């Protein structure tokens, strides 16, 4: 789920009129700018448009996903036991810890692509 403002530039096929899309989730609105003309479209209407024009496999690529890059740390502890095992015998305890390094939230289609969403 997008929680903060996102900007996206849609390139016009003629190359003359790029469309700047500013997604404002706190207002549930997408602001569209073409040159000096600005309009506001409800997100529900954007979703309806997407459902109309997308193929089923394309709809799947619009699912929100979260990808977390982790680093695994392994540590081995040696403990001297005093009961229930022979006294003086070493007990080896292996510990594994997953530390998240990067958490990315996006839609499935853009998660591993070069498409820039600012």
Within-domain flag for 85: no
- Whole-prediction pTM: 0.47
**pLDDT for 56-114, tens place per residue?**
888 887 777 888 889 999 999 888 877 777 777 788 899 999 988 888 777 776 666 55
Domain that holds residue 18: 1-53
State the maximum Cα–Cα separation within the chain, in Å, rounded to a whole number: 82
Q: Are 97 and 75 in contact (CB under 8 A)?
A: yes
* Assigned domain for 69 exists: no
Count: domains in the chain: 1
CA nearest 111: which of 57, 61, 74? Answer: 61
Classify strands 64-80 and 37-42 as parallel, antiparallel or unpaired. unpaired
- The values of phi and psi at residue 102, to 5°, are -135, 135
Tell me the three state secondary structure of residue 83: coil
Report yes or no on 10 lying in a domain.
yes
């Amino acid at each position: 789920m997008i929680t903060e403002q996102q900007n996206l530039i849609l390139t016009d096929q003629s190359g003359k009129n790029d469309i700047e899309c500013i997604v404002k989730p706190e207002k549930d609105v997408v602001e569209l700018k073409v040159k000096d003309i600005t309009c506001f479209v409800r997100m529900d209407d954007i979703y309806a448009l997407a459902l109309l024009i997308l193929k089923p496999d394309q709809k799947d690529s619009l699912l929100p996903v979260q990808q977390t890059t982790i680093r695994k740390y392994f540590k081995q502890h040696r403990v001297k036991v005093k009961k229930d095992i022979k006294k003086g015998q070493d007990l080896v305890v292996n510990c594994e810890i997953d530390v998240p390094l990067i958490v990315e939230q996006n839609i499935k289609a853009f998660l591993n692509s070069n498409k820039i969403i600012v």
